[in-house]
Structure 1
Amino acid sequence: PPTVATAAVPAAARPTATVPAARTSGDAPAGAADAVGDGASGGPSPSGAGPVTELRVRYPAFERSRQVRRFPAVTAVHRAAAMPTRPAPGALADAAPRRWPGDPVALPEPALASLDRPLSTVLASRSSSFGRFRRPPELTAAELGTTLAFAAAGRTHPADADSVADPVAPSPAGADPVALPPADAAPLGSRTGTAEPHPAGITASVREPGDGAAAAPDPAGGPGSGGPALTRLWVFANHVDGLATGSYAYCPRRHALLPAGAAPEGGMSAFLQQQYFLTNYTMGQVGAVLAVSGRLDAVLDAVGPRGYRILNAEIGAVAQRAYCAATAQRIGCGAVLGFDNVAMDEALGLTGTDERTVLFLLLGRHPDAVADLAYRL
């Protein structure tokens, strides 16, 4: 993620960025004398062509409000989280989610053909379901698995946060951990060094790179590196054709679900409705609820206040990719925060751990014929 947060920070207080300036023969532009140097750090320029002029510029926010209200606490949080220092390699290795034990439940292979739609079309047509779920027909295990695979591929987004592979953490006492594939096997959606989807569709970031070999982690970190995923995806399977009702942890390396809990007493629909505080969704019409979890305290211990931004960036990437995958498959998706996190964590078996659910994504079907307001016009 970028190291400077500009939202809610006054322009005068925001750090400036240094960029090379176009230069002709002669003196440096007026006002830039203090930014002139022989190189990026004052030494000779890499090309040996003489001094390189740099300009310090500010990026003002586009503000449309007549009157701007600023909150000191929000500004202080943004400044604290905008730590410019880069974490040391491996700093986040111990902040990744622990391996989850259990016998894997296989999912159908991701249906990449269903994702092969122009990205511009997907982005223009995506929207939150907001209470429009209707069943039957049911959400299928193939649609669920495809959405999980595409969403999980966004967990290792290009950033300078870390540069090591996912750690192999010890499993709980007495539990048999799920074996990972060989080291030379490419995990689905592994970072390949290209962050943009294929121009012809949105499937490229789910496919394996080149001949299927995994991209080697960049020891220096940064874009294209193979840092650890800081989040985990969970599934509350409610009405999914081909999948037993219950809660599961998603294992992207095996593209499988690991059981986390049986169906609650009284049924999954009743449990989800009881734990949801709002009234805009009827859980009996929802096919599945995805939960995104992370270990916030461990991330903060590793990189300090900037961990809020690093973790939230990954959560946002996962959510946006889930929306895109659902839209491409013509199923509904809605992100919500209105669940009782304590009860949801308990249902997933997270009580007594430092892992917490932070965001929920509802999946299901929409009616074929619905009225809509084209408010963007």
Structure 2
Amino acid sequence: MSVVNDYVNAIVRRRREPMEPFGFEPDWADKPRRHKVYPGAVRFPLPDGRCGEGAALDTGLRPAPAGGRFTLDTLAGMLRDSYGLLGRRLGVQANNDEEMLPRYRSAVWWRGTASGGGMYPAEIYWVCGPRGPMVPGVYYYSTPHHAMQRLLAGDVVDQVRATLGDDGAAGSTDQFLLVSLKFWKNAFKYNSFCYHVVTMDVGTLLGTWQMWSRAHGLALRPMLHFDEPALNRLLALQTRAESVFAVVPLPWTEPGTPGKPDAAPARQARVTLQENERSRRVIRFPLVEEVHAEIVADHRPRPTAEELALAAAVIPPYGNGGRGHESGRGLDGDSGRLVLPPAEPLKATVPASLRARRSSFGRFSGHRPLTQAELSAVLAAGTAGGRLVSDVKDGDGGPALTRLVVFTNHVGGMPRGGYAYDPARNELGVVSPGDAAQFLQHNYFLPNYNLEQAAAALVVLARPEAALEAAGPRGYRYVNAEVGAVAQAVYTACAALGIGCGAALGFDNVSYAERLGLEGTGEWPLLLLMIGNERPGEPNIDHRIG
């Protein structure tokens, strides 16, 4: 029996069979900080990050040629545009915290990368080696200050490389970004559901870095399979509470030899500074810890892309007598398929698109339909952005672990219904004919969206149990990382097009699976992405930093 497998099944059935702890209520007065605080750590301001806007989002969504190198300016730019604070949210919207937003203590500061529930549990550390621009050591990226805080002085590059196994790319640089997840920053609100949310947050961040680096002529290959406990010891993290989920080797310019620390640390050096936790009471959720422990304890070799292909998403042959045949008359003869027009170009740059990204929260309006070219652009962007290049994928981010279906409400010239997206043909195949507006709203848990007013609702499908069979417990993370990357690409594409977007995990997965005819396929709907035009003239204060 697998704890992770049981957890996945509990997640997708939680609307019908509630998960423990039952009746849990967050203690909002004792919530954790949105940003870590390391008292006594020396802070070094980063460059302002304005290293050039780079190429258009269309370029950022395509694989980039290798050869570009990071500098301190480009690193600062990528960090600021992805996870640094970019401005304050004060617009009128449908969330129940709206009356708190004008108060400074409750202010919401937005970032370029989306996060489940707006919790931002990812933490970013920089291991700088001797060829870097600063004294070798371990640094923490302080997001509110856009600065690095030094946690350890000394060359620990060999320690990091030793955790990565026999991956050759890790030996070509001595600069690494480590991405950890602090569970409590999400669990205080979502309790046992938190692991499902935060593993998608890794994908949103890596997805942002992928499109940003490509737009600036750089190529990244994050690593998702490594010795987590060893890196946690280096960073002084308690594995049950926070763990490193991704290591990103940075191709780096070699500007010369930087200064050296006065004394080299011991061979197995580790950070000794501890963060200051705001919450007086940190609650442990056994299910989160058990799932995480099973994944960390799995020591099987890194899976190859070929092995992971056993969990690849498969697009069924809609039309030609298949499920969509009878309902699709008039779309394309009797084929049940609709050929989309070429995608609307995404001409805005990646940084500009990230700075414009936000959640719609009830602002959708069907007064102006989405064009088919805009829908085509969003579907293509979500598919391309979700192909995360990593140590378990090939150079183009394959195999694809996710695919998209879309329910249409207000798309010009397109009948309402549910369609499967075929990216290779840029076609839609009918899978659920007829108006689905009541179904969409009935199976959404929260009051902050009117799904009928969204032009379309994209559903991200994946086969998590097949991923567990192909890659072991870590396969669950690989799937959720790709789901998160899809979400970030869709958000960013919508910002580039000037249309609204919102993401939701609060829906009945089983009902969606039944509606889409997924029984027996192993596929599950894991994320809902709503897109469309918004009501004009909504009150808003555009409070941007810099």
- The TM-score normalised by the length of structure 2 is 0.47
Structure 2 residue aligned with 1:286, among 432, 454, 457? Answer: 454
> Aligned pair 1:317/2:485, yes or no?
yes
> Aligned pair 1:142/2:373, yes or no?
yes
Q: Distance in 2 between matches of 1:61 and 1:257?
A: 52
SS in 1 for 2:540: coil
Displacement of 1:349 in angstroms is 1.4
Displacement of 1:61 in angstroms is 8.1
SS in 1 for 2:306: coil
Q: Percent identity?
A: 39
Displacement of 1:4 in angstroms is 7.8
Q: Distance in 1 between matches of 2:360 and 2:270?
A: 41
Displacement of 1:136 in angstroms is 1.2
1:187-218, CA deviations, whole angstroms, 9 ceiling, x for partnerless residues?
xxxxxxxxxxxxxxxxxxxxxxxxxxxxxxxx
Query: What residue number does 1:7 align with?
Result: 182
SS in 2 for 1:358: strand
> Aligned pair 1:302/2:535, yes or no?
no
SS in 1 for 2:385: coil
Q: Distance in 1 between matches of 2:444 and 2:524?
A: 17
Query: What residue number does 2:208 align with?
Result: none
Query: What residue number does 1:71 align with?
Result: 284
Q: Distance in 1 between matches of 2:420 and 2:518?
A: 11
Structure 2 residue aligned with 1:349, among 517, 538, 542? Answer: 517
SS in 2 for 1:352: coil
> Aligned pair 1:102/2:302, yes or no?
no
Q: 1:322 to 1:373 in 2, by over 3 A?
A: same
Q: Distance in 1 between matches of 2:433 and 2:314?
A: 21
> Aligned pair 1:127/2:358, yes or no?
yes
Q: Distance in 2 between matches of 1:332 and 1:79?
A: 38
Q: Distance in 1 between matches of 2:264 and 2:367?
A: 69
Q: 1:345 to 1:362 in 2, by over 3 A?
A: same
1:212-248, CA deviations, whole angstroms, 9 ceiling, x for partnerless residues?
xxxxxxxxxxxx2552100110101112112221111
Kindly indicate whether the alpha-carbon contact (under 8 Å) linking 1:92 and 1:228 is maintained by their aligned counterparts in 2: yes
Write the mapping of 1:219-238 to structure 2, written as runs, cut at 5 A. Answer: 224-238=395-409
SS in 2 for 1:92: helix
Number of equivalent positions: 286
Of Structure 1 and Structure 2, the greater helix share is in 2
1:260-296, CA deviations, whole angstroms, 9 ceiling, x for partnerless residues?
1211xxx322222222222211222111100001001
Displacement of 1:301 in angstroms is 1.0
Structure 1 residue aligned with 2:410, among 228, 236, 239? Answer: 239
Kindly indicate whether the alpha-carbon contact (under 8 Å) linking 2:305 and 2:399 is maintained by their aligned counterparts in 1: no
Which deviates more from structure 2 when the two are superposed, residues 272-281 or residues 62-71? 62-71
SS in 1 for 2:484: helix
Q: Which amino acid aligns with 2:278?
A: S
Q: 1:144 to 1:79 in 2, by over 3 A?
A: same
Query: What residue number does 1:156 align with?
Result: 387
Displacement of 1:297 in angstroms is 0.5
Displacement of 1:67 in angstroms is 3.7
Displacement of 1:13 in angstroms is 3.9
Q: Where in structure 2 are there 5+ consecutive unaligned residues?
A: 1-163, 165-176, 184-231, 250-255, 320-336
Q: 1:272 to 1:72 in 2, by over 3 A?
A: closer
Write the mapping of 1:359-374 to structure 2, written as runs, cut at 5 A. Answer: 359-374=527-542
Q: 1:337 to 1:4 in 2, by over 3 A?
A: closer
Q: Distance in 1 between matches of 2:470 and 2:178?
A: 16
Q: Distance in 2 between matches of 1:61 and 1:245?
A: 54
Q: Distance in 2 between matches of 1:327 and 1:133?
A: 14
Q: Which amino acid aligns with 1:133?
A: F
Displacement of 1:122 in angstroms is 1.5
Q: Distance in 2 between matches of 1:141 and 1:320?
A: 21
Q: Which amino acid aligns with 1:251?
A: D
SS in 2 for 1:139: coil
1:23-44, CA deviations, whole angstroms, 9 ceiling, x for partnerless residues?
99xxx95443xx4xxxxxxxxx
SS in 2 for 1:91: helix
Q: Distance in 1 between matches of 2:281 and 2:180?
A: 17
Kindly indicate whether the alpha-carbon contact (under 8 Å) linking 2:441 and 2:450 is maintained by their aligned counterparts in 1: yes
Query: What residue number does 2:295 align with?
Result: 81
Q: 1:243 to 1:61 in 2, by over 3 A?
A: farther
Kindly indicate whether the alpha-carbon contact (under 8 Å) linking 2:408 and 2:417 is maintained by their aligned counterparts in 1: yes
Structure 2 residue aligned with 1:326, among 476, 494, 497? Answer: 494
Kindly indicate whether the alpha-carbon contact (under 8 Å) linking 1:111 and 1:146 is maintained by their aligned counterparts in 2: yes
The alignment's C-alpha RMSD in Å is: 3.3
Kindly indicate whether the alpha-carbon contact (under 8 Å) linking 2:382 and 2:487 is maintained by their aligned counterparts in 1: yes
Q: Which amino acid aligns with 2:307?
A: A
Kindly indicate whether the alpha-carbon contact (under 8 Å) linking 1:81 and 1:307 is maintained by their aligned counterparts in 2: no
Q: Distance in 1 between matches of 2:409 and 2:431?
A: 14
Q: 1:160 to 1:30 in 2, by over 3 A?
A: closer
Q: Which amino acid aligns with 2:344?
A: A
Displacement of 1:352 in angstroms is 2.4
Q: 1:301 to 1:365 in 2, by over 3 A?
A: same
Q: 1:134 to 1:97 in 2, by over 3 A?
A: same
Kindly indicate whether the alpha-carbon contact (under 8 Å) linking 1:7 and 1:61 is maintained by their aligned counterparts in 2: no
Q: 1:111 to 1:304 in 2, by over 3 A?
A: same
